[in-house]
Structure 1
Amino acid sequence: MSDKGLFVRGSTGLVREAGFVDAVSVNVANMSVGAALGTVGFTLASLPSVSGVNLVAASIIAFTLSIPQIITYTTLTKHIPRTGGDYVWVSRLLGPRFTWLVVGLVVGFIIESLAYYALIAIAGVGQLGTMLSTLGINISFTPLEVIGIGILYFAIVVFVNIMGTKYGIRLMTVLTIASIVTLFLALAVLYVVPKSVVISRVSSLLPSGVTYSKVASQYTGPYFALGPTIMMLPFFAIYIYPWLQAAPAIASEIKSRRAINWNLPTSAVLSMIMVTLGFAAMYYSMGFRFSTMAMANGYVNFWSAAMVASGNVVLAWIIGIGSVLWYLAVLAYGAIVIVRYLFALSFDRILPEFFSYVSPRLRSPVYAHLFDLVITAALIASAEALYSTFSSLYGAVVEALIYFALVGVAAAVAAILNKVKLSRGVRVTLAVASILMVGVMGYISYQFLEYPSIWGGNPLAYGVEIGAVLVGIAIYFIARHINLRRGLDISLVFMEIPPE
């Protein structure tokens, strides 16, 4: 390490491997549409009442509320395309005075993301079991098996990334595209097969003695009520709409300016279309009342409904495999993106230098990937062993929402004080969008905290995040002390945009 340079070295050493399709794919994987369609029943079951909850309307409302964030992230990605994305924006726009807070929240965000990957790995094992049972292969997994399979899922994608960044990106893109194709295949089944046939075939998934009419009759209330529908906003915050940081985090590895400019709007709209059509397809093919109660009781989800509705073994297998691939795609994006945050912190001399080490042969940040695997594996084991449910880590999302709110604050400061060279029109748009973004993140955070029994407010989730933020703050002051002894004030780092 050179003690004279602000950064660990003069360039990141990472190579531009990602095209437009890769950039869109990493965002779509980040937004976890397939996982949301498969697991929404767990949330419906936790609500005090599902009366008036309309998932199509909730999706549209949640997307509308995400538009300020889409504008904010797109604008900043265009003007500051660096490894680490929003971490670089916030730390530079707020400046050295607030670096301790930024680092604390970023470390908390990293751990929250790893907790989310643990959640997805556990849910992916559950979807595997659902797929097999729907196909007539009855199997149940013990907690130890869930832990083992979940860790195996993540280990596979991590080791592919270790073998080379381009392989990790290609794996993520292939998994995401395959997942999207199977989702549209499932949509086609639910929209094309006659409703009476779908209902007849889906009825085979119901327990003995339970009928379609009996399930449908359990629902009472309107097709839509604003209050209950808005109660579902945290669900979309857990899975889909705020998760726009993936491509910005690898922006310095994206090949073209077109890909940098358009990947976020494209992926956000595509994800909105897929998840909204998914819920609409269930309402259309099976009826609103039955779909709501069947999901809330755990009888059926989007994927199992499409599999049996197809009436074709080959199609059922394809859709079933695609449903599991969605979870693997999320893990594949995670193995790429969160390592970029570790890399950026190391590049700024906050974390040890080995986190930003790039293997000359593999062109991959090997040690950062291994750290990612170890921490995520521990969280998978903790969530399953202590709570035996993937929703036990839902509450950790609050920290991410607070972090996103801080991004909004930094963007507002940049626009109002003209810290980034922008035209007057762009400055005004960014200022308005970022302020609205802060308000949205604040409101959804309130929903999480107001209803902890629904949204995973437990000692594991909150403890992990509070501890991570405190550790992050401590890491900053320790790093500053160590570097001062070497003659370098790292606060100066946060007055400069890092090299590509």
Structure 2
Amino acid sequence: MAQRKLFLRESSGLVKNASLKDLVMLNVANMGAGLAVFEGISPYVVQGSLLWLASLITFLITLPLVFTYTYLLLKMPRTGGDYVWISRKLNGAIGSIMGVAFAFNMPPYFALSAFFSVASINLVFLELGTLQHISSLTYLANNVFVNPYGVLTLSQELLFYALAAISFLIIILVNIFRPKWGFTLTTILGIISSLTLIIAMIVVAVNIPDFHQRIPQFLITFNITGTITPFHFSLPATLYMVPFFMSYAYIWLYAGPAVAGEAKEGSLKLNLILGSVLTFIMITFPFLIMDLAAGPAFNLAYYPSFTYNFWSVAIYLASNPILQWILGIGLIAWNYFIMAFGVVVFARYIFAFSFDRLFPAIFAKLNKYSSPVYAHILDLIATLVFLALPLISPSGALALYSYTPLAVAYLFIVSLAGIKVGLNDNNKKLLAMGIVSAVIMAIVEAELLIPSNNYSFSVVTSSGVNWIATAYIISLVGLGVISYFLAKYYRMKKEGIDISLIYKEIPPE
């Protein structure tokens, strides 16, 4: 009983509201398939690569990580997920420092989702306004929901910020006053987003026979140019694209585990693999269908334009105005889907830190609706701060993508925790999967750190060190270091509690 007093209280107080469907949708949002086939990957394609094959390879090589996460999730189903596993099974200090760094890596991602939510409205309104000759939509795209990469007036920047901020605030308020609705909102947005993506796949597939007869007009209408060169398949080029698929999709497995303390009975075992399989389908098949319709050479010529992508082509080929609107709404919904999952998950990490006395107790306080209200408020403040960066400089948005090297390092540490648990439990399968996962994460990290590879999310390129990205990563890890040692000093001096002892047992439910 004495050790139970190490924790803030003897029960988390969170309610088991999350069903298997909710957890799967959280995981699907975490991996962001809809945005990966929008402007997340295809504009960065290199000659000789097949995107659908790179997606397949990425899915296969991340399965050991999925298995490791699933095993640890079933063994320690607690709020905070991988933070709890690392801090309990590997090392308390490492778990605390990297857990804080990883968690505060999330608000920039949510800020980007809020940022691109308005950007997606701009694209949909501009495309539908042009295709359907609706001048009011074109006006809104050019004057209200403007292209954030263009030259904006101060009033347009403030309006853009306000629209993105209000969207995020609404989702925050839903989670504060009706936490169960937070899961429901994510699930509903997930179903809408996923179904429209599947419909878009069907639309492009149906138009394969006359694709090359129809698509020239699309290119002319939106002034898309490119040079078609003969396609020669290259395995190295295809493998070069694997880190892009990891960065935008397949390695993001923390959502379901982070809310495991609120999962209903029997909903944990399959949620990660189902989320991964659905993501695989919703990324691989769109790129495969695009290659079957246009041919790799054609796609490689026009993908770098950004305007030519799976979603814009699907909306154009739909022809029927109602169907075009459905697809456009589906694309916009993906951004809000990701924001909705983010609000749920970030607060659970902050709650877990506070419950372990790493953070101030107020962040583990629940309101009468059983919502970690102050954790949500912290999320809102952090996201609104980061949301200003892309508006100050649209190129600043790219700096926020530099979370990838930190995330890969974090997943390497999770894999090490899996190896240690495998050894302790004499579980050869977990041991093997942990080792394979650790090796794969180490290889990917090395790929990102090789300057000549020039990945868009690298901290070091052939042009030199990206000091903004480097400072960003150092600041996140620094925040973790300060949080841990400050909490250790304060708790010992003021309360007589050694927080390193907290990490010797699993938190109560």
TM over 0.5, yes or no? yes
Q: 2:247 aligns with which of 219, 228, 238?
A: 238
For the structure 1 residues 122 and 203, does the alpha-carbon distance in structure 2 shift closer, same or farther, using more than 3 Å as the test?
Answer: farther
8 Å contact kept, 2:39–2:306: no
For the structure 1 residues 194 and 71, does the alpha-carbon distance in structure 2 shift closer, same or farther, using more than 3 Å as the test?
Answer: closer
- C-alpha separation between the residues in 1 aligned to 2:41 and 2:259? 33
| Identity level (%) | 34
Task: State which drifts further: 201-210 or 76-85.
Answer: 201-210
What amino acid does structure 2 have at the position aligned with 1:231?
A: Y
- C-alpha separation between the residues in 2 aligned to 1:3 and 1:144? 51
Per-residue deviation, 1:200: 4.2
- C-alpha separation between the residues in 2 aligned to 1:101 and 1:358? 27
Asked if residue 298 in structure 1 is aligned to residue 298 in structure 2, the reply is no
Per-residue deviation, 1:145: 4.1
Asked if residue 19 in structure 1 is aligned to residue 11 in structure 2, the reply is no
Root mean square deviation, CA, Å? 2.1
Asked if residue 373 in structure 1 is aligned to residue 385 in structure 2, the reply is no
Correspondence for 1:131: 124
For 1:103-122, list aligned pairs within 5 A: 103-122=96-115
For the structure 1 residues 149 and 158, does the alpha-carbon distance in structure 2 shift closer, same or farther, using more than 3 Å as the test?
Answer: same
Asked if residue 89 in structure 1 is aligned to residue 85 in structure 2, the reply is yes
Per-residue deviation, 1:43: 4.4
Per-residue deviation, 1:391: 2.8
Secondary structure, aligned partner of 2:402: helix
Q: 2:472 aligns with which of 464, 472, 482?
A: 464
Correspondence for 2:399: 392
Correspondence for 1:269: 277
Per-residue deviation, 1:269: 0.8
Asked if residue 182 in structure 1 is aligned to residue 196 in structure 2, the reply is yes
Task: State which drifts further: 394-403 or 307-316.
Answer: 394-403
- Residue-by-residue CA offset, 1:85-136 (whole Å, 9 max, x unaligned): 1111110002xxx422221211110122222222222233222211111102
Q: 2:57 aligns with which of 61, 64, 75?
A: 61
Correspondence for 2:215: 202
- C-alpha separation between the residues in 2 aligned to 1:332 and 1:171? 7
For the structure 1 residues 148 and 235, does the alpha-carbon distance in structure 2 shift closer, same or farther, using more than 3 Å as the test?
Answer: farther
Per-residue deviation, 1:204: 3.3
What amino acid does structure 2 have at the position aligned with 1:155?
A: L
Asked if residue 454 in structure 1 is aligned to residue 462 in structure 2, the reply is no
What amino acid does structure 2 have at the position aligned with 1:176?
A: G
What amino acid does structure 1 have at the position aligned with 2:329?
A: I
Per-residue deviation, 1:195: 3.1
Per-residue deviation, 1:3: 11
Correspondence for 1:148: 162
Per-residue deviation, 1:250: 0.6
- C-alpha separation between the residues in 2 aligned to 1:93 and 1:219? 53
Q: Using structure 2 for the length normalisation, give the TM-score.
A: 0.89
For the structure 1 residues 42 and 388, does the alpha-carbon distance in structure 2 shift closer, same or farther, using more than 3 Å as the test?
Answer: farther
Secondary structure, aligned partner of 1:206: helix
Secondary structure, aligned partner of 2:366: coil
- C-alpha separation between the residues in 2 aligned to 1:83 and 1:320? 35
Secondary structure, aligned partner of 1:260: coil
- C-alpha separation between the residues in 1 aligned to 2:209 and 2:407? 41
For the structure 1 residues 79 and 208, does the alpha-carbon distance in structure 2 shift closer, same or farther, using more than 3 Å as the test?
Answer: closer
For 1:395-406, list aligned pairs within 5 A: 395-406=402-413
- Residue-by-residue CA offset, 1:420-467 (whole Å, 9 max, x unaligned): xxxx5xx11111111111112122222222245622533333322211
- C-alpha separation between the residues in 1 aligned to 2:263 and 2:320? 41
- C-alpha separation between the residues in 1 aligned to 2:481 and 2:473? 12
8 Å contact kept, 1:40–1:295: no
Number of equivalent positions:
478
Q: 1:170 aligns with which of 160, 184, 187?
A: 184
8 Å contact kept, 2:26–2:341: yes
Secondary structure, aligned partner of 1:16: coil
Asked if residue 347 in structure 1 is aligned to residue 343 in structure 2, the reply is no
For 1:277-356, list aligned pairs within 5 A: 277-356=285-364
- C-alpha separation between the residues in 2 aligned to 1:65 and 1:107? 27
- C-alpha separation between the residues in 2 aligned to 1:210 and 1:178? 31
What amino acid does structure 1 have at the position aligned with 2:163?
A: I
Q: 2:48 aligns with which of 37, 52, 75?
A: 52
Q: Using structure 1 for the length normalisation, give the TM-score.
A: 0.91
- C-alpha separation between the residues in 2 aligned to 1:16 and 1:406? 28
- C-alpha separation between the residues in 2 aligned to 1:126 and 1:219? 31
Correspondence for 1:421: none
Asked if residue 221 in structure 1 is aligned to residue 212 in structure 2, the reply is no
Per-residue deviation, 1:144: 4.2
- C-alpha separation between the residues in 1 aligned to 2:217 and 2:162? 31
What amino acid does structure 1 have at the position aligned with 2:6?
A: L
- C-alpha separation between the residues in 1 aligned to 2:449 and 2:43? 16
For the structure 1 residues 149 and 301, does the alpha-carbon distance in structure 2 shift closer, same or farther, using more than 3 Å as the test?
Answer: farther
- C-alpha separation between the residues in 2 aligned to 1:461 and 1:334? 22
Task: State which drifts further: 16-25 or 232-241.
Answer: 232-241
8 Å contact kept, 1:201–1:308: no
8 Å contact kept, 2:43–2:303: no
8 Å contact kept, 1:36–1:239: yes
